[in-house]
Amino acid sequence: MRSLVLVDLFAEDRAHEELLAPLIRRIAEEERISVEVKIRSARGGQGRALEELKLYQRSLALGFVHTPPDLLVVAIDGNCVSAARKRQEIEQRTDRSLRDRLVAACPDPHIERWYMADAHSFRCVVGETPNVGQKKCERAFYKMAFVDAIRATGCPSPLSGIEFAADLAKKMDLYRAGQEDGSLKDCMDALRSALPRHKQGGLLPLARQRTDDGPKVADQPL
């Protein structure tokens, strides 16, 4: 078993990537697990991320991915259809042999809500308390609340706040953030559950298996 847990991350855009990658590393560090996070897709929206996931699985089945992941994280917004439904959609698009190493990260409704989940740490990092209020599903509501909080500081923000992602992931009170946002708690709980299985050697490495229907990914000893 490798001492380093390999994590492949598929995200719908850079805002997801910049927050999720350091958050995965932080949770792994708290669990005393060494990880390497590789960004497989982080541009082009949900459709692009899911298409890249499909192509990736095909490449994995054909043996073009030389180092298969120990953990597969797919991050797309719930978009007000509920995080549970989005997780189900991701699971349905994931080969059965990969599902035991899948973590679906689905902000409900949008990723900016996760950035602001712990208002205290947000103020410490950014310098302004976000005006979030009760959960809303209006399109771009959380994005605008996020951008407004950044602008209120009077500081230039060339990346519309994404440049604060790493510091927010580091400073965030994860318990408080999870209490504030259930979809974030679900994601963090899933990571804490999945990561130790690899540390303990609970999953076998992936190997290729050819069937009458063509190559597929299978869990079997190499």
Predicted pLDDT at 206: 57
Predicted pLDDT at 205: 52
Place 199 in a pLDDT band, splitting at 50, 70 and 90. Answer: low
Least confident of 4-8, 134-138, 171-175: 134-138
Predicted pLDDT at 204: 45
| C-alpha dist (Å) from residue 3 to 195, 200, 201, 203 | 12, 10, 10, 13
Closest CA to 113 of 130, 126, 127: 130
Tell me how far apart the alpha carbons of residues 78 and 43 are, in angstroms, rounded to a whole number: 17
Predicted pLDDT at 202: 46
Predicted pLDDT at 218: 44
Average pLDDT over residues 7-25: 97
Confirm whether pTM is higher than 0.85.
Answer: yes
Predicted pLDDT at 137: 79
pLDDT over 60 (residue 209):
no
Tell me how far apart the alpha carbons of residues 36 and 28 are, in angstroms, rounded to a whole number: 10
